[in-house]
Amino acid sequence: MATIYDVAKTAGVSPKTVSRVLNGDAPVGQGTRKAVEAAIRELGYVPSKAARMMRSNKSGLIGLITGAISNSPEPAEPRGLPDLLIVQGIQKVIADSGKTLMIADTGGLPDRVSHLVQTFLEHRAEGLIYVADYHQQVTLPPLPGGCPLVLANCFDSTGHPAIVPDDRAGQRDIVRKLIESGHRRIGFLTLDRTMVATGLRYQGYRDALAECGILYDDQLVAMAVEIGSESDNTLLNASLNRLLDLADRPTVICCGNDEMAMRVYGLLSSRGIRVPEDISVAGYDNYRIIAETLSPALTTVELPYFAMGQAAAQTLLNLIKGRSDRAETKTLISGPVSWRSSVTARNSVSVLKQKGRNNA
């Protein structure tokens, strides 16, 4: 295997000059540079990255710990928006920065996190990103000083920079658009109440009602999914029946995610209820495998996983460069509402416009 000394001899220069060409840390004449590069190609010389790391104390490596790979569903089994999109967003920014992303999957075993952190540190990773499979609070092992950590889709109690979805704003935005479309009786089938996202989206639901002057009705809200039984229709069926049996039943049903909305379509169809002619349906995620293939196509709000991944990676790069303000420990990323044909307008004049006239 060729060495830097072989390259120097072939190019007729000193080893120090070859090093300058490789590292770009000092001016080198154009002719000399071409001679060195030609010698490198001729000899098939591969620079020692390990040696360069020892000199610069920078590995160029970023460690990422996730469960997205092992937890991703089979292509034929859509089960919600894969958090693998967060990893893709991270990869895009890290690759553009010239650094290398090393990915380790937990295999669904939280106990592996400490070992994976230690492994990355042994490989001199410049920083770490931890990606959770849903919006939640996590507890991670302590890191040695000087190794920055960024959390994606999660947060902790120690104040590490965290990139999380703005669930409250997302639910507020879609409910507000439903109201603008003339809906005043808006049902809400939520995910498990113990989930962080559920509480935030419930607040967003109530925010939109209050902003538009609509009284909150507890009868219109029901939990429809419990953790550990996401594909079990028993609770969903009971909660949906509760809404449909109301004397003044909702004109639109907001679902906790697009997968739930897909199942609501089926349950409504089995009762002879048409979407959107008899009742409108909205989701959350904008998981296109579901939202764009349902008939009618599903109105939903974007869960901005790719953008969250990009923000997490950029935050880490800023920390590595010492350019980040650590005072902002939690960054909220919002996504747009995707309006499709599963929601129909209730009248030609929006509630908000009518409310404005009444206040004039």
Q: Report d(CA 33, CA 37) in Å as an integer.
A: 6
Instruction: Give the residue-averaged pLDDT of 259-274.
Output: 96
Length reported for the chain:
360
| Least confident span in 109-118, 198-207, 261-270 | 109-118
Name residues whose C-beta falls within 8 Å of residue 185's C-beta, 6 or more positions apart in sequence: 217, 220, 248, 249, 250, 251, 252
Homologous superfamily (CATH) of 4-47 is lambda repressor-like DNA-binding domains (1.10.260.40)
Instruction: Give the residue-averaged pLDDT of 299-322.
Output: 95
Who wins on pLDDT, 347 or 150? 150
Query: Tell me, what's the pLDDT at 159?
Result: 87
pLDDT at 149 over 70: yes
H or E element that contains 132: strand 127-137
> Would you say the CATH fold of 167-299+339-359 matches that of 4-47?
no
Instruction: Report residue 140's pLDDT band, with 50, 70 and 90 as the boundaries.
Output: confident
In order, the DSSP letters of 329-341 are: -EEEE---EE--T
- Fold (topology level) of 61-160+305-334: Rossmann fold (3.40.50)
Homologous superfamily (CATH) of 167-299+339-359 is Response regulator (3.40.50.2300)
Q: Model-level pTM?
A: 0.79
Name residues whose C-beta falls within 8 Å of residue 72's C-beta, 6 or more positions apart in sequence: 82, 84
Q: Where are the domains of the chain?
A: 4-47, 61-160+305-334, 167-299+339-359
Instruction: Report residue 348's pLDDT band, with 50, 70 and 90 as the boundaries.
Output: very low
